[in-house]
Structure 1
């Protein structure tokens, strides 16, 4: 007989009082598997339709990402937050602790504030304004060198050996390397082409959208070349998309023109923390994705033992069937684009770190639908968790904040 913890009782009271009305479930699928396949087949299968939120992305983009429907950007509290952000970001030396406190509750989506704040929170921009120009010049020059050295075009290479030709199988053949790179680029191209199909920025046929896709492909390709032990893994495009989008849409035209190198280095920073989740060789290690899933299960058991027992022992719904994608893709497939961005604001600024914040949010997602899960069987719960119902990100963050206050991460 399991017993629900006092904290779970408290969270449920908050949940019942604040739960937003869940929108009707749409008919499109997100790669639902009634008969679970292997860990990676289940979790990283992203259909060309991408997600259930695709149809609302264009509409969500007209409001602040993550803001409740009907929220006014002209309210006194909203203007006050914008002023505080402008003051912090405008100082000669940015106080990162103060920036984290502000960003934890969401970054205003105007005047390039999110682009600048993310670059600071991810350690790409130095807090001291006087150091930024030199750092940016160095980083952007390094990225340009990566492009020149790693993107091979054998037809333009000087000093090629005379015997090097398109059919050469030699290990030092530029042509051979070019064709191997082309195979990887084809995989990257397929994923980039289906990135957020409901958002014209990524999927349009005009010149701007084509440029955006080409720059994203270069970023992912260069990352793969610099990390031969990991290379490109399906789904990395989803982690790049929010970074590149906000950097490219920066109102600072000079900064926007360098979105490609800036997004590359910020993407590298994110992957450096979560790269073990992408490495199949580490799946069963103490640092791989299974270890992360074990931590998630332990946290759920601590917070809500009744729900944990129901899912783990009665239903036997292993977290790998649904939470692999949640964790590996940082929730970009479970929420609309604007709401995922809002979650990232908190994740990047959480003093406990991105990993702990991500796990709390995942547990909050489970607690948010505990009533449905407790009444569901294996098939119903697997379907519900693999196709998480649309919900306001703030409802999830409120529960996650309760978890943080309770010091529940172990």
Structure 2
């Protein structure tokens, strides 16, 4: 995919781009307060699972249930999914542990965690050593191998190609959640966070030459890395880079076809996903579907490309997107179906405005989705799951 132009601080693209570039590069989501709590580095967390106050008996009961489930020798994943579907408390590293279990990084048997983590983290360290090339620090880079060499075997040639990709990754990581000090600060901690994220994305690209790095992947890594790095378990936090890498790989493995430009017009690419979204909307709300599709001709690719590709991270504030991911990772119907239902729920949530709007007004509304409590969207999506199935 071609590199997108730079954006202003408000996330508005300066130059005209192709649809795919525009969808991945623009960033309308702002950090808007929906009555949520303040946590690490001023980052809000959604106001408790299911909107329950952190001091309420209901919330304390959920904490106990999560503690019980996560504290057993062998985790009951079915029970964990049922709990996580309605939100994971942001306490004692529960979300970090639950996500690792839900994404298959940790096995259900707690007794296996130590060996699994040791093997995975050692494998990641090996990736770092083998894939991050610096000819100046490697033996054998003398004589025939020099910075101007065009040989396919030249370490210098590979180094310069890698540097181009790293430059693109660096630009995107620098733009990741500029309003959050964790990602954008100038202190040593924030710099370390950005460097670790860049390594994760670079190593992923090197291991996946058919896909490589695609603009916007940084937004999918950010929630994982943030929660793993803020884990109250100090040892786990120190290994956030490796742990986030493997969980990021799991997410991309399911949604990678959406990033692959060669599959855009195939039965598994992004256009197929957009078609499924349109079909589901037709099932749920034929009137709204007809108004958007035929009367206004607002094609889903004009707004939902970014919704689907970046898993709604740009349509909601960071903590609300995290809350959506709790449900996304634990939905018994699977992540793809859950994502599509959530997108339809977003359309249904603003159906009144959409039915009254013309092409221009509706496109603006959907490309700059208005602030809304994530729980309200998830409630609509859950109702859709009870009454409809995605074909």
How would you bin the TM-score normalised by the shorter chain? over 0.9
For 2:268 and 2:51, the matched residues in 1 are separated by 42
Q: CA RMSD in A?
A: 2.0
Shift of 1:248: 0.2
The one-character-per-residue Cα deviations of 1:147-206 (angstroms, maximum 9, x if unpaired) are 000000000111235211111111111111101100000000000001001110000000
**Unaligned 5+ residue runs, structure 2?**
1-8
Of 256, 266, 283, which residue of structure 2 is paired with 1:285?
266
Aligned to 2:110: 129
Distance 1:80 1:59, change over 3 A: closer
Of 340, 351, 354, which residue of structure 2 is paired with 1:359?
340
Shift of 1:330: 0.1
Aligned to 1:40: 20
**Unaligned 5+ residue runs, structure 1?**
1-27
Q: TM-score, normalised by structure 2?
A: 0.93
8 A Cα contact 1:274 1:328, kept in partner: yes
For 2:248 and 2:37, the matched residues in 1 are separated by 24
Of 63, 78, 83, which residue of structure 2 is paired with 1:82?
63
Which has the higher mean CA deviation after the structures are superposed, 161-170 or 359-368? 161-170
Of 50, 74, 81, which residue of structure 2 is paired with 1:100?
81
1:403 has 2:380 as partner: no
Give SS of 1:177's match: helix
For 2:223 and 2:84, the matched residues in 1 are separated by 16
For 2:18 and 2:137, the matched residues in 1 are separated by 43
Of 32, 37, 54, which residue of structure 1 is paired with 2:31?
54
1:146 has 2:127 as partner: yes
Aligned to 2:252: 271
Of 129, 143, 148, which residue of structure 2 is paired with 1:162?
143
Give SS of 1:44's match: helix
8 A Cα contact 2:76 2:108, kept in partner: yes
For 2:135 and 2:195, the matched residues in 1 are separated by 20
Shift of 1:66: 5.5
Aligned to 1:337: 318
For 2:366 and 2:279, the matched residues in 1 are separated by 18
8 A Cα contact 2:49 2:59, kept in partner: no
Corresponding pairs, count:
379
Shift of 1:64: 3.4
Shift of 1:42: 2.8
Shift of 1:30: 4.9
Aligned to 1:199: 180
Give SS of 1:54's match: coil
Aligned to 1:242: 223
Aligned to 1:313: 294
1:327 has 2:304 as partner: no
8 A Cα contact 2:28 2:367, kept in partner: no
Distance 1:308 1:318, change over 3 A: same
